[in-house]
Amino acid sequence: MTTLPQSTEKKLGLVIDLDTCVGCHACVISCKGWNTENYGAPLSDQNPYGDEPMGTFLNRVHSYEVTSPGETAKTVHFPKSCLHCENAPCVTVCPTGASYKRQEDGIVLVNEKDCIGCGLCAWACPYGARELDQAEGVMKKCTLCVDRIYNENLPEVDRTPACVRTCPAGARHFGDFADPESNVSKLTAERGGMDLMPELNTAPVNKYLPPRPKDTWDFEESVLAPFLAPVAEETTGFLGWLDKQLSKLPGDKETN
HSE-up of residue 255 (Cα within 13 Å, Cβ side)? 1
Dihedral angle computed from the Cα positions of residues 172, 174, 176 and 181, in that order, rounded to the nearest 10 degrees: -70
At residue 190, what are phi and psi to the nearest 5 degrees? -70, -35
Smallest CA-to-CA distance from 182 within 8, 15, 31 is with 15
pLDDT tens digits for 12-26?
999 999 999 999 999
The confidence score (pLDDT) of residue 187 equals: 96
pLDDT (mean) for 220-244? 72
The confidence score (pLDDT) of residue 228 equals: 67
Looking at 34-38, 148-152, 176-180, which range is the least confident one? 34-38
Domains and CATH numbers, the chain: 12-209 (3.30.70.20)
The confidence score (pLDDT) of residue 182 equals: 97
Please say whether the beta carbons of 173 and 164 come within 8 A: yes
Smallest CA-to-CA distance from 158 within 167, 149, 168 is with 149
**In the predicted structure, residue 40 carries a pLDDT above the cut 80:** no
**In the predicted structure, residue 213 carries a pLDDT above the cut 80:** no
pLDDT tier for residue 255 given thresholds of 50, 70 and 90: very low
Which residues are CB-contacts of 213 (< 8 A; sequence separation ≥ 6)? none
pLDDT tens digits for 198-211?
999 999 999 999 98
Please say whether the beta carbons of 71 and 80 come within 8 A: no
pLDDT tens digits for 98-140?
999 999 999 999 999 999 999 999 999 999 999 999 999 999 9
Smallest CA-to-CA distance from 13 within 210, 208, 211 is with 208
Residue 148 to residue 160: CA distance in whole angstroms: 6
With residue 67 as reference, give the H or E element that holds it. none
pLDDT tier for residue 250 given thresholds of 50, 70 and 90: confident
Total number of residues shown for the chain? 256
The confidence score (pLDDT) of residue 256 equals: 45
Angle formed at CA 226 by CA 223 and CA 227, multiple of 5 degrees: 95
- Predicted model pTM: 0.81
With residue 124 as reference, give the H or E element that holds it. helix 120-124
At residue 145, what are phi and psi to the nearest 5 degrees? 50, 55
Smallest CA-to-CA distance from 174 within 253, 244, 106 is with 106
